[in-house]
Amino acid sequence: MTSLEFTNQVQKISYSLKPVAMNLTRDADDAKDLVQETLLKALLNKDKFKAGTNLKAWLYTIMRNTFINNYNKITKRNSNIDSTEYFQYFNTDENYITHNGATSDFVVTDINEAIAGLSADYRTPFMMYYIGYKYLEIAEKLQIPIGTVKNRIHIARKELKQALKTYAPGV
Average pLDDT, integer, range 122-150: 91
CB 103 within 8 A of CB 110: no
The count of domains in the chain is 2
Per-residue pLDDT for 170 more than 90? no
Q: Which domain holds residue 146?
A: 99-170
Same domain flag for 66 and 131: no
Q: Is residue 149 part of a domain?
A: yes
Tell me which of 67, 87, 107 is where a domain ends: 87
Per-residue pLDDT for 94 more than 80? no
What pLDDT digit, counting tens, does each position of 145-169 carry? 999 999 999 999 999 898 888 877 6
Q: How far is CA 55 from CA 10, 29, 37, 108, in A?
A: 8, 25, 16, 54
> ∠ at Cα 42 (38, 47), nearest 5°?
165
Same domain flag for 7 and 80: yes
Same domain flag for 50 and 128: no
Same domain flag for 123 and 150: yes
Q: Is 13 exposed, middle or buried (0-12, 13-18, 19+ CB in 10 A)?
A: middle
pLDDT of residue 132: 87
Q: Is 150 exposed, middle or buried (0-12, 13-18, 19+ CB in 10 A)?
A: middle
Q: Is residue 94 part of a domain?
A: no
Average pLDDT, integer, range 85-112: 61
Q: How confident is the model at residue 76 (pLDDT cuts 50, 70, 90)?
A: confident
Average pLDDT, integer, range 139-145: 93
Per-residue pLDDT for 96 more than 90? no
Percent of the chain at pLDDT above 90?
Answer: 38
Same domain flag for 51 and 113: no
Same domain flag for 103 and 77: no
pLDDT of residue 78: 64
CB 63 within 8 A of CB 21: yes
> ∠ at Cα 144 (86, 125), nearest 5°?
10
Same domain flag for 6 and 83: yes
Q: Is residue 135 part of a domain?
A: yes
